[in-house]
Amino acid sequence: MTKRLEVRNVSVTVDGARVLDDVTFDLGAGERLVIIGPNGAGKTVLLKSLLDLMPHSGQIVWAPDARLGYVPQKIDADRHLPITYKDLFVSKCRVAGEPIARIGDVIRDVGISKKILDTPVGHLSGGQFQLGLMAFALIGRPNVLILDEPTASVDEPGEEHIYSLIERLQHEYDLSIIAVTHDMSFVYREATRVLCLNRRSICVGTPEAITPDVLAELYGESQSFYRHHHHA
């Protein structure tokens, strides 16, 4: 399998505290790597390091043909910002050198209505906002999609929609996926590989490698909640 990403001994220190310690893993073409871990485990820090948004030590090497799309967990957008997704998509097309017609493709791929396109972003529901972010990420024709808690701001039917959307997009765009989540059903349904993170990597492997012992080490006291979630 061709590698799209190699991460070797990556560490991040913020204000003298080590928030990520010696993390190593790979990402192959077509893989869905899901990163799990408790709050404060450094999951978002790791994503931001991969995107070069954060100073880090160690090596992060993307394949020369890797094109990254990033879907953040949430954006601190001003509710009164008079900006719509249409403004943002047009801007992204211009910056990425894509034709404006590409907007029609991505809103069809993600399934968002023209009405959402013309509504100021601050007035959209959590689910609509999330889909807009997804479409924004697709405009540069990525082959790696990086998702931070893709289902955190949506309700249960919305979760289903996001799962099937990710699966469909993966085929259509030949994507490798890196996703951070708290949602264990996402792990068991979507992951081809799992990275358990608690400042350092506790395990890297298939979803079957997530044994109760691993979860105990990862989450400590709260493990029963996650196991329960798995069986539910």
**100 binds other proteins, rule: CB under 8 A:** no
Residue 80 or 231 having the CB closest to other proteins: 80
d(CA 193, CA 198): 17
The site for other proteins, by CB under 8 A, has a size of 27
- Beta strands (DSSP E) in the chain are 3-14, 17-28, 32-36, 57-62, 68-71, 144-148, 176-180, 193-198, 200-205
Other Cβ atoms within 10 Å of 111 Cβ, number: 14
Site track 125-144 with other proteins (rule: CB under 8 A), x = hit: -----------x---x----
**78 binds other proteins, rule: CB under 8 A:** yes
Q: Out of 77, 126, 168, 172, name the contact with other proteins by CB under 8 A.
A: 77
Q: Are the C-beta atoms of residues 176 and 143 closer than 8 Å to each other?
A: yes
Site track 158-197 with other proteins (rule: CB under 8 A), x = hit: ----------------------------------------
Residue 50 or 187 having the CB closest to other proteins: 50
- Residue 5 bridge partners (DSSP): 27, 62
Q: Out of 14, 96, 100, 209, name the contact with other proteins by CB under 8 A.
A: 96
Q: How far apart are CB 120 and other proteins at their closest, in Å? A: 7
| Nearest of 184, 175, 192, 171 to residue 224 by alpha carbon | 184
CA angle 1, 145, 122 (to 5 degrees): 175
d(CA 190, CA 199): 23
Q: HSE on the CB side for 80, CA within 13 Å?
A: 0
Q: Are the C-beta atoms of residues 155 and 166 closer than 8 Å to each other?
A: no
Q: How far apart are CB 86 and other proteins at their closest, in Å? A: 9
**70 binds other proteins, rule: CB under 8 A:** yes
User: Which region, judged by CB under 8 A, interacts with other proteins, from 83-91, 106-114, 194-202, 214-222?
Assistant: 83-91
**1 binds other proteins, rule: CB under 8 A:** no
**87 binds other proteins, rule: CB under 8 A:** yes
d(CA 112, CA 28): 30
Question: Which residues sit at the interface with other proteins, rule CB under 8 A?
Answer: 48, 51-53, 68, 70, 72, 75, 77-78, 80-84, 87-88, 90-92, 94-96, 120-121, 136, 140
